Amino acid sequence: MATRPSTTSHMHRRTQEQLLLEYLRRLENRREGRKAVRINLSNLMPINRREHHIRAATNSFETLVSELMGQLFELKNQDIFFVYKSTAHARVEDTVQKIKFLFSDDPLFDGKGRSDEDFVNWYDVETGYDELFNMVRDMGDEGRTAKRAASRSNVREALKARQEHGDPLTPEILSRAVKALLRTDLTSLVRRQFVCRVNKKLVPEPLFSELFISITDLRETMMPGINITSNRWLFQYLTESLDKRVLSLLSKTDRTSFTGDISFNVNVSTLMSPEFMAFDEGISAARRGSMVLELQKVDIFADLGAFLFAREFCQEKGYRICLDGMTYQNLLMIDRERLGVDYVKLMWNHELIDGGERMKDDLHDMVKDAGATKVIMARCDNREAVDFGRSTGIGMFQGHYVEHLIAEDERRRQLLKLKHRIERG
Amino acid sequence: MADTASEYSGGSNTAKSPEKRLLDMLARMRNNTAGSYAVHLHLSQLRASHRQPHFMRMVARSLDSLASQQDVQVLNFTNSDVALLCRNTPIDDVDDAVFRVRALFNEDPLTLTDDGSAEDHFSAWYDLSQSTDFKDFEDAVSAIAQTTEQVKNQQADAVSSGRASKALGGAPLSPDMVAGITQKLLEARIGDLVHRQPAVLVGGQNKTQQLAFREHYIAMSELRARIAPKVDLFSGHWLFQYISETIDARVLEVLSRLDYADMDCPLSVNLNVSTIMARPFQNFHAIVGEHTDKVIVEIQIIDIFADMDGFAYARDWLKEHGYRVLIDGLNPLTLNFFNPTPLEADFIKIGWGPEVQGGVDHDQTQQIANIVAKMPPGSVVLARVDSEEGVSWGLGLGIICFQGHFIDKVVEKMTQKGLIT
Tell whether B58 lies on the interface with A, counting CB pairs under 8 A: yes
Alpha carbon distance B88, A307 (integer Å) = 36
pLDDT at A51 > cutoff 80 = no
A183: left (phi over 0), alpha (psi -120 to 50) or beta: alpha
- Does residue B328 sit in helix, strand or coil? strand
- Together in a domain, A313 and A227: yes
> A177 and A154, same structural domain?
no
Rounded CA-CA distance A100/B317 in Å is 33
Q: Of A8-17, A53-62, A88-97, A167-176, which range is least confident?
A: A8-17
Same domain assignment for residues A90 and A33 = yes
Q: What percent of chain B has pLDDT over 90?
A: 47
C-beta atoms of A172 and B179 within 8 A: yes
CB contact B50 to A (< 8 Å): yes
Name residue A62's amino acid. Answer: E
Q: To 10 degrees, what angle do helices B237-255 and A232-251 make?
A: 180
Count how many domains chain A has: 2
Cα–Cα distance for residue pair A293/A321, rounded to 1 Å: 5
* Least confident range of A145-154, B171-180, B184-193: A145-154
Range in A261-275, B117-131, B354-368 with the lowest mean pLDDT: B354-368
> Which regions of chain B carry the CATH code 3.20.20.450?
171-416
pLDDT score for B356 = 61
Q: What is the predicted pLDDT for the residue at B6?
A: 38
Q: For B241, how many CA atoms within 13 A lie in the half-sphere containing its CB?
A: 23
One-letter amino acid for residue A247 of the chain: L
The H-or-E segment that residue B67 falls in is helix B64-67
Q: What is chain B's alpha carbon radius of gyration, rounded to the nearest angstrom?
A: 26
Distance (Å) from the alpha carbon of A214 to chain B's nearest alpha carbon: 20
- Reported as half-sphere exposure (CB side, CA atoms, 13 A), residue A232 has a value of 18
Does A423 map to a domain?
no
Instruction: Please enumerate in sequence order all residues whose Cβ is within 8 A of that of A405, keeping only pairs 6 or more positions apart, or say none.
Output: A196, A198, A202, A203, A204
Cα–Cα dist A195/A205, whole Å: 8
- Choose between B109 and A399: higher pLDDT: A399
- Whether residue A2 is contained in a domain is answered as no
pLDDT score of A153 more than 60: no
Query: How far is Cα B279 from Cα B273, in angstroms, rounded to an integer?
Result: 12
| A147 or A50, greater pLDDT | A50
- Rounded to a whole number of angstroms, the distance between the first and last alpha carbons of chain A is 50
ipTM, 2 decimals? 0.79
Query: What integer pLDDT is reported at residue A133 of this predicted model?
Result: 84
Neighbour tally for B24: CB within 10 Å: 11
pLDDT in tens, B79-101: 899 999 998 888 888 888 888 89
Test mutation, A30, A181, A232, chain B, max B CBs within 10 A: A232
**Residue A177: inside a domain, yes or no?**
yes
Residue A1 within a domain: no
Taking the Cβ of residue B343 and every Cβ of chain A, the question of whether any pair is shorter than 8 Å is answered with: yes
Buried b (16+ CB within 10 A) or exposed e, A108-143: bbeeeeebeeebbbebebeeebeebbeebeebbeeb
Q: Specify whether A225 is located in the same domain as A371.
A: yes
Query: How many residue pairs from chains A and B have C-beta atoms closer than 8 A?
Result: 123
Identify whether A246 is part of a domain: yes
Angle at which helices B18-29 and B131-160 pack, to 10 degrees? 150
Mutation target for A interface from B58, B65, B316, B355: give the one with most A CBs within 10 A.
B58
Query: Could A327 and B308 be called an inter-chain contact, meaning their C-beta atoms sit closer than 8 Å?
Result: yes
Put simply, the answer to whether B54 touches A234 (Cβ < 8 Å) is no
Q: Cβ distance B283 to B256 under 8 Å? A: yes
**Amino acid at position A8, single letter:** T
d(CA B88, CA B128): 11
Q: Kindly determine whether residue A312 and residue B55, on different chains, have CB atoms separated by under 8 Å.
A: no
Among residues A106, A131, A162, the one where a domain terminates is: A162
Q: Cα dihedral angle (B309, B314, B315, B319), rounded to 10 degrees? A: 150
Q: Do A190 and A147 share a structural domain? A: no
Å from B127 to nearest chain A CA?
28
Whether residues B333 and A305 touch (CB distance < 8 A) is answered with yes
Return the pLDDT at B99: 87
Q: Which of B7, B120, B15 is nearest to B56 (CA)?
A: B7
Kindly give the pairing relationship between strand B231-232 and strand B324-330: unpaired
For chain B, what percent of residues have pLDDT higher than 70?
Answer: 87
Shared domain for A145 and A231, answered yes or no, is no
pLDDT at A132: 86
Q: Residue A209's pLDDT band (boundaries 50, 70, 90)? A: very high
Mean pLDDT confidence for B125-138? 90
Q: Longest Cα pair distance anywhere in chain A, in angstroms?
A: 79
Q: Same domain for A189 and A130?
A: no
B337 touches chain A (CB under 8 A): yes
Which CATH fold topology does B171-416 show? TIM Barrel (3.20.20)
Closest CA to A190 of A123, A255, A281: A255
Query: Among A218, A228, A149, which Cα is nearest to A190's?
Result: A218
Measured distance CA(A397)–CA(A379) in Å, rounded: 8
* Pairwise CA distance, residues B95 & B116, whole Å: 10
Q: What is the mean pLDDT of residues B179-201?
A: 93
Q: Quote the Cα angle for B262-B268-B269, to 5°.
A: 120
How far is the alpha carbon of A153 from chain B, nearest alpha carbon, in Å? 36
Task: Choose among A304, A380, A315, A309: nearest CA to A341.
Answer: A315
Model confidence at A111, pLDDT cuts 50, 70, 90, reads low
Contact B336 A335 (CB under 8 A): yes
Interchain contact, A68 vs B313, CB within 8 Å: yes
CA of A299: which chain B residue's CA is closest?
Answer: B302
pLDDT at A194 over 80: yes
What's B338's DSSP letter?
Answer: B
pLDDT at residue B354, as a whole number: 59
CA B344, chain centre distance (Å): 26
Q: Are residues A94 and A187 in the same domain?
A: no
How high is the mean pLDDT of chain A? 83
Domain end call among A141, A162, A183: A162
d(CA B209, CA B194): 25
In this structure, what are the phi and psi dihedrals at residue A255, rounded to the nearest 5 degrees? Answer: -80, 100
Each residue's pLDDT tens digit, B205-234: 556 788 999 999 999 989 999 999 999 988
- Contact flag A171-B175 (C-beta cutoff 8 Å): yes
**Residue B282: phi, psi to the nearest 5?**
-65, -35
Rg of chain A on CA atoms, in Å: 25
Q: Are residues A153 and A198 in the same domain?
A: no
- Summarize pLDDT for A401-412 with one digit per residue, the tens: 999 999 999 999
- Report the candidate in B222, B279, B295 with the shortest Cα–Cα distance to residue B246: B279
How confident is residue A169, by pLDDT bands cut at 50, 70 and 90? Answer: confident
Q: Are residues A25 and A145 in the same domain?
A: yes
Residue B178 forms contact with A (CB below 8 Å): yes
Segment among A131-135, B137-141, B163-167, B381-385 with least mean pLDDT: B163-167
pLDDT given for residue B155 in this prediction: 61
CA nearest A377: which of A319, A338, A331, A408? A331
Ordered strands of the B82-87 beta sheet: B72-76, B82-87, B36-41, B123-127
Kindly list the residues from chain A whose CB atom is less than 8 angstroms away from the CB atom of residue B338: 301, 333-335
Tens of pLDDT, residue by residue over B27-48, are 999 888 888 999 999 999 888 8
Would you say A331 and A344 are in contact if contact means Cβ atoms under 8 Å apart? yes
Q: Which residue has the higher pLDDT, A308 or A49?
A: A308
In chain B the first and final C-alpha atoms are separated, in Å, by 62
Residue B419 has pLDDT above 80, yes or no: no
- What's chain A's length in residues? 425
Are B61 and A234 in contact (CB < 8 Å)?
no
Quick one: which of A406, A357, A358, A354 has its CA closest to A384? Answer: A354
| Minimum Cα–Cα distance from B305: chain A residue | A298
Name the 3-class secondary structure at B379.
Answer: coil
Q: Note whether B54 contacts A273, CB cutoff 8 Å.
A: yes
pLDDT top residue among A142 and B137: B137
Q: Is pLDDT above 70 for A147?
A: no
B282 contacts: CB under 8 Å, gap ≥ 6: none
Q: Count other C-beta atoms under 10 Å from residue A277's C-beta.
A: 19
Q: CA quadruple A125, A131, A135, A136: dihedral positive or negative? A: positive
Query: DSSP assignment of B298-318, as one string?
Result: EEEHHHHHH-HHHHHHHHHHH
**What CATH number has the domain bearing residue A276?**
3.20.20.450
- Provide the shortest C-alpha distance from residue A364 to chain B (in Å): 19
Q: What is the pLDDT averaged over residues A122-129?
A: 88
Q: Is B277 an interface residue toward A (CB < 8 Å)?
A: no
Residues A392 and A319 in one domain: yes
Indicate the residue of A68, A233, A309 with minimum beta-carbon distance to B55: A309
Pairwise pLDDT comparison (B6 vs B248), residue with the higher score: B248
What is the pLDDT of chain B when averaged over all its residues? 85
B178 — alpha (psi -120 to 50), left (phi > 0) or beta?
Answer: alpha
For residue A348, the one-letter residue type is W
The answer to whether residue A43 scores a pLDDT higher than 50 is: yes
Task: Choose the most confident range, by mean pLDDT, from A158-162, A233-237, B115-119.
Answer: A233-237
CB within 8 Å: A316 and B337: no
Which is higher by pLDDT, B54 or B254? B254
* Helix or strand run (H / E) with residue A397: strand A396-397
Report phi then psi at B38, rounded to 5. Answer: -135, 150
The answer to whether the CB of B391 falls within 8 A of the CB of B402 is yes
Query: Residue range B245-256: average pLDDT?
Result: 94
Same domain membership, residue A311 and residue A195: yes
Q: Which residues of B67-93 are buried (b: 16+ CB within 10 A; e: fewer)?
A: beeeebbbbbbbbbbbbbbbbebeeee
Beta strand extents in B136-236 (DSSP E only) = 171-172, 194-203, 208-218, 231-232
More confidently predicted of A256 and A66: A66
Closest residue, chain A, to B306 (C-alpha): A298
> In a 10 Å sphere around its CB, with 0-12 CB exposed, 13-18 middle and 19+ buried, how is residue B335 labelled?
buried
Average pLDDT over residues B193-200: 94
* φ, ψ (nearest 5 deg) of residue A37: -140, 140
A308 pLDDT exceeds 90? yes
Domain that residue A364 falls in: 171-418
Domain boundary residue, one of A103, A137, A162: A162
**A309/B176 touch (CB, cutoff 8 Å), yes or no:** no
Residue B340 Cα, gap to closest chain A Cα (Å): 7
B307 contacts A274? CB cut-off 8 A: no
Q: What average pLDDT score do residues B160-172 get?
A: 53
A247, part of any domain: yes
Stretch A206-222: mean pLDDT: 89
The residue in chain A having the minimum alpha-carbon distance to the alpha carbon of residue B103 is A312
Chain B positions in Cβ-Cβ contact with residue A298 (cut-off 8 Å): 302, 305-306
Find the CB nearest A309 among B104, B174, B339: B104
Please state, in angstroms and rounded to a whole number, the distance separating the CA atoms of residues B228 and B180: 9
